[in-house]
Every structure is written in structure tokens, then in C-alpha cells.
Structure 1
Amino acid sequence: MKKIKYLIVLLTMIITNANMLNAQTFVHPGGVHSMADLNRIKAKVLAQEHPWIDGWNNMIQDSKAQKTYVANPSTTIGGSNGIRQQAARDATAAYYNLLRWHVTGDTTYARCAVNILNAWSGKINAVVTGELFQLPIMTMVQAAEIARTYPGWAQADIDRFKYMCLNYFYPACHNFIGSCGSWSGWDFLLLQIFFISGFFVMTRQNLMRPSIIIKMVPEVEISTT
């Protein structure tokens, strides 16, 4: 049995994007995907290049990638009673439809995605709770950041989604900091949520939160054989 000491330095993404903390403007989409990333996806798919086209063809066969998809929102986003799974499906559907919109130019996919996001922001009315709430939140804010580039997403709906991020998602994630024990991967999810939602709502407080957490995270001993 030997002990390996790990300093949980969570995220190359945070380090490589540190300069954005001092940036004067926010360029959307940010976080996981830049516009260059989305354009590269589009170019590979339209050129029918492998293996990209293979992954694309698999995705568009998924029921969640259809523009007829309809969300089934709840007043919270976590839990073991099926709510978390439904939230994750809806968030993934929004993400898939936004990718299809960007590649094809068909705005009905974008409209489907914003309808999903609007359904959830119109339903959630308190700080979210429940088991594994971090998982659907992460995908949902990723989708929302891409959706910001769709001109058809009404400003009032964008503002309502921002409100949900700041008042219902952020407190839940903040309160979870340090609660994961030895399961440090959950802190990784929190950092992604803070970073992407910070980009979406355009607040430097959220963007700075990951670097603050990294400084707070203690050294953890993990025993291996």
C-alpha cells in the first residue's frame, strides 16, 4: 500500500482561460465551445469527413436530437425520483438541437432548443435541490451559452434564464462546495458550472469563482495498491 498525495488542481480549462477574467467584453459562445469550435464541427460534417460524420449521423438518430422534442420541466432539477434524469434529457435535447441548427442553418432546431430552456426557466422557482443536480445544470448552461448566438431567443427569456442561473443554480452549487468528501470529481462539475454560467450571465464573480475554489481545495491523500 502506498500513499499518493494529490493536490486537486481542477481545471486546465480555468488556467488556460484565466486572461478572460480581465477581459473588457464577453464573446459568445464561450465556456466549452467557441464559435471557431462550432464552425469546425459544421465544416467537418458538411464535408462528410470521417470520423466526424459518423458521430454526427449517430447523434441525429437520437430522439433527443429531433426538433419535435418537448420538455417536461419540474420545479427543481435533481433527485432520485426521475426528475434529474428528465432534466438531463431535456438539457441534452437542447444541446443537440442547437448543434443541428448551427450545422444545418434550420432555425426550427434552435427554436426547439430555446423552448426547452424557456420551459425550465419558467418552471423552477427556488434554489434547486436533490441528488446529482449538478449533472443536468452543467449541460443546460452549456446549451444556453450556445443559444445566446440564436437571434430568435427573446431578451426577456434570456434574462429569465440568467435569473435562474444566478438565483437558483448558483446558490445550490456554492452551498455544495466542500461537501463531496473524497469524490473530488464533483468539484470539477461545480467549476464548469461556475465558469460557463459566468460567461452566460456575464458576471466576473462567477468566472472568478473557480480560481477561488482551487485555492480552497485541500490536499487529499488517496491510498492505492
Structure 2
Amino acid sequence: MRTHLRFAVLFLITVFVFVGLSAQTFIHPGIDMCREDLELMKNKTLAGEQPWRGAFERLKAETPLSFEVKTYAHVISGPYGKPDIGGSDLSKGAVMAYNCAVLWYITKDKAYA
């Protein structure tokens, strides 16, 4: 009987822990921005306030729409980038995707989508 009681208590604790975890909203571990941050950045940029507007202009200048993604079947990026078979191209593509996402959020220009 005592074993059944311990099992029941352990089971209920496990259920409550998992229910509590599943109720939390997803927070991306690699991006430290939320909707409020993006809205603030967008509103300040569109209002022409500095430093937001200047940073936006630099981001646009550093994000050419002519960028072409180079694909690799296998990416190898060793210590200190040696050997580098697609590693730097993968990083450049990721940065461009992020930059385009931010530019799209601010401008809603489909060219960045």
C-alpha cells in the first residue's frame, strides 16, 4: 500500500511539472528580441529617431538583395575555420536571413520577405 502511495504521489508531481512546462510560451534561445523590442525599433526608425534610423540605413546598405545563397551537401568548419567547406557561406546566409527578417519587419517590403 505504501509503495502505491509513493507511486501515486510521484506520478502526480510528474504530471504537474509537465503541465506547468507545456503551458509556458516558447522563447527562442538564440534570439534575444521580443515583439515589443521589434515594435520599439520599428516605431523609432520610422519616426527618424537616432540612433535607430542610422542603424537602419547601415543595415540596408549591408544587406544587398542580390545576395545568392551557396548550398553545400556537407558543411565542414574545423577549428579556427580550417578547413572551411561551406562554413563561412552558411554563416553569411544566416546573417543575411536575419537582416532581411528585421528589414522586412520594419518596412514590410516584400523584397526582404
State the TM-score, normalizing by the size of structure 1: 0.35
Q: Tell whether the 8 Å contact from 2:75 to 2:85 is kept in structure 1 after alignment.
A: no
Which position in structure 1 is the counterpart of 2:91?
A: 88
Structure 1 residue 78: deviation in Å?
Answer: 3.6
State the AA in 1 paired with 2:48: Q
Residue deviations 1:54-111 (CA, integer Å, cap 9, x gap):
121111111xx2333221121233422351111111111101101110000112311x
Query: Max radius of gyration: which structure?
Result: 2
The correspondence of residues 181-200 of structure 1 with structure 2, limited to 5 A, is none
Instruction: Provide structure 2 residue ranges, at least 5 long, that are not aligned to the other structure.
Output: 1-19, 78-82
Check if 1:22 corresponds to 2:30: no
Check if 1:67 corresponds to 2:70: no
Residue deviations 1:166-190 (CA, integer Å, cap 9, x gap):
xxxxxxxxxxxxxxxxxxxxxxxxx
Provide the C-alpha distance between the structure 2 equivalents of 1:77 and 1:40, rounded to a whole number of angstroms. 37
Provide the C-alpha distance between the structure 2 equivalents of 1:107 and 1:25, rounded to a whole number of angstroms. 32
- The secondary structure found in structure 2 opposite 1:70 is coil
Residue deviations 1:113-145 (CA, integer Å, cap 9, x gap):
xxxxxxxxxxxxxxxxxxxxxxxxxxxxxxxxx
State the AA in 2 paired with 1:94: A
User: How much is the aligned-residue C-alpha RMSD, in angstroms?
Assistant: 2.2
Structure 1 residue 50: deviation in Å?
Answer: 1.0
- The percentage of aligned residue pairs carrying the same residue is 20
Which among 74, 77, 99 is matched to residue 76 of structure 1?
Answer: 74
The correspondence of residues 1-225 of structure 1 with structure 2, limited to 5 A, is 22-27=21-26, 30-31=28-29, 32=31, 33-62=33-62, 65-79=63-77, 80-110=83-113
Report runs of 4+ in structure 1 exceeding 3 Å deviation.
none
Q: Tell whether the 8 Å contact from 2:42 to 2:105 is kept in structure 1 after alignment.
A: yes
State the TM-score, normalizing by the size of structure 2: 0.64
Provide the C-alpha distance between the structure 1 equivalents of 2:55 and 2:85, rounded to a whole number of angstroms. 28
Question: Could you say if the C-alpha distance between residues 47 and 90 of structure 1 is closer, same or farther in structure 2, counting changes exceeding 3 Å?
Answer: same
Instruction: Provide structure 1 residue ranges, at least 5 long, that are not aligned to the other structure.
Output: 1-20, 111-225
The one of the two structures with greater contact order (alpha-carbon pairs below 8 A, sep at least 6) is 1
